[in-house]
Amino acid sequence: MDSHETETNRRKGSDPFKPYARLISILGDQLISSKWVGVIELVKNCYDADAENVWVRFIGFDEPDGNPVIEIEDNGDGMTKHIIRNVWLKPATPHKLNQKKSDTKRFTKKGRVMQGDKGVGRFAIYKLGNFVEVFTKTESTDEMQLTLNFREYAQNDEFAEKNEVPEKFLDQIKNDWQENEIPIQIINEKGKGTLIRISDLRNDWKYEDLERLQIAFQRMIPPIIPGFEHKINRDFNVDIHWNGVKYPPSSITFEKVIPIAPFSFNGTVEENGVVEFTYSHNNKKQNSSLDLFDSKQVIAHDVWKLPMFKEQFLEYIEIKKDKKQLKIKKLSGEDITQKSYWKVKRKPNVGKFSFYFYAFDWRKMELTEKEKAFIKDNSVYLYRDFTRVYPYGERGIDWLLLSKLRSEDRAGHYFSYNDLCGFVFITQKENPDLRDAASREGLVNRNGVSDDFVALIQASLKIMKDFVDVDKRREETKKEKAFVSINQKFTQTYVALQHELEKINDKKILDKAKSFFNTTLQITSEYKNKMQITEDLAGLGMAVEKSTHDLFMLINKIRHNTEDMSSKFEKGKISATNLRLFFQDLNQTLDFLYEELQILQPLFRESRKTIKDISVRETFERIERYYRREFQFNINFKIEGSKDIVVKANLGLLLQVFINLIDNSIYWLSQKSSGNRKILVKIDSARNRVIVSDNGIGIKDDLAEVIFLEFYSTKAGSGRGLGLYIAKELLERINANISLITTDEFKILPGANFLIQFDEDKIWTE
Shared domain for 560 and 672, answered yes or no, is no
Shared domain for 47 and 193, answered yes or no, is yes
Residue range 211-233, pLDDT digits in tens: 989 988 888 888 888 777 667 77
pLDDT of the residue at 75: 93
In a domain, 16, yes or no: no
Q: Using CA atoms, how far apart are residues 723 and 755, in angstroms rounded to an integer?
A: 15
The vertex-653 CA angle with 647 and 657, nearest 5°, equals 95
Alpha carbon 202 to chain centroid, angstroms: 42
In a domain, 75, yes or no: yes
pLDDT of the residue at 179: 94
Shared domain for 296 and 357, answered yes or no, is yes
pLDDT of the residue at 328: 42
Phi, psi of 506 (to 5 degrees): -85, 110
Q: Using CA atoms, how far apart are residues 500 and 497, in angstroms rounded to an integer?
A: 5
Query: Which letter, b or e, does each residue of 318-352 get, where b requires 16 or more Cβ atoms within 10 Å of its Cβ?
Result: eeeeeeeeeebeeeeeeebbbeebbeeeeebbbbe
Counting every residue, how long is the chain?
766
In a domain, 127, yes or no: yes
In a domain, 47, yes or no: yes
Look at strands 380-384 and 420-426 and give their pairing: parallel
In a domain, 1, yes or no: no
For residue 464, count other CB atoms closer than 10 A to its CB.
Answer: 24
Of 224, 716, 715, the C-alpha closest to 724 is 715
Run means of pLDDT, 10 residues per run, the chain, 766 residues: 58 84 72 82 89 94 86 94 89 62 67 64 81 93 92 61 66 90 85 93 92 88 80 84 92 89 93 89 83 69 78 65 44 43 77 94 84 90 89 88 85 88 92 78 84 92 89 71 57 71 67 69 58 52 52 61 72 72 66 58 53 88 79 84 87 82 85 81 91 87 74 56 76 86 86 87 54
Are 36 and 124 within 8 A, CB to CB? no
Of 262, 191, 249, 189, the C-alpha closest to 217 is 249
Last residue of a domain, one of 246, 279, 311: 246
Q: Using CA atoms, how far apart are residues 292 and 313, in angstroms rounded to an integer?
A: 10
Shared domain for 654 and 688, answered yes or no, is yes
In a domain, 42, yes or no: yes
Shared domain for 599 and 681, answered yes or no, is no
Residue 119 DSSP code: S
Three-class secondary structure of residue 557 per DSSP: helix
Residue 441 DSSP code: S
Signed CA dihedral, 108, 114, 117, 123: sign only: negative
Shared domain for 27 and 167, answered yes or no, is yes
Are 73 and 193 within 8 A, CB to CB? yes
Cis status, amide bond into 391, omega within 30 of 0: yes
In a domain, 17, yes or no: no
Distances (CA, A) of 661 to 541, 620, 629: 15, 11, 17
Shared domain for 61 and 178, answered yes or no, is yes
Shared domain for 641 and 733, answered yes or no, is yes
- Amino acid letter, 747: K
pLDDT of the residue at 690: 93
Residue 633's domain comprises 610-766
Of 100, 97, 183, 184, the C-alpha closest to 142 is 183
pLDDT of the residue at 383: 92
Last residue of a domain, one of 449, 473, 497: 473
Last residue of a domain, one of 473, 489, 517: 473
What total number of domains does the chain contain?
4
Shared domain for 432 and 314, answered yes or no, is yes
Helix (H) / strand (E) element for 452: namely: helix 449-501
Are 415 and 362 within 8 A, CB to CB? no
Residue 152 sits in a domain whose CATH number is: 3.30.565.10
Shared domain for 718 and 614, answered yes or no, is yes
Report the predicted TM-score, pTM, of the whole model to 2 decimal places.
Answer: 0.66
pLDDT of the residue at 399: 93
Shared domain for 368 and 403, answered yes or no, is yes
Q: Within the chain, what is the greatest distance between any pair of CA atoms?
A: 136
Q: Using CA atoms, how far apart are residues 636 and 181, in angstroms rounded to an integer?
A: 92
Residue 20 DSSP code: B
Shared domain for 52 and 194, answered yes or no, is yes
Distances (CA, A) of 431 to 351, 353, 550, 663: 5, 8, 53, 46
Residue range 574-604, pLDDT digits in tens: 777 767 767 766 666 666 555 555 555 555 5
In a domain, 13, yes or no: no
Write out 682-738 in H/E/C secondary structure. EEECCCCEEEEEECCCCCCHHHCCCCCCCCCCCCCCCCCCCHHHHHHHHHHHCCCEE
pLDDT of the residue at 529: 55
Distance between start and end Cα atoms, the chain: 123
Query: What strands lie across the sheet with 284-291, from one edge to the other?
Result: 284-291, 274-281, 263-269, 353-359, 420-426, 380-384, 387-388
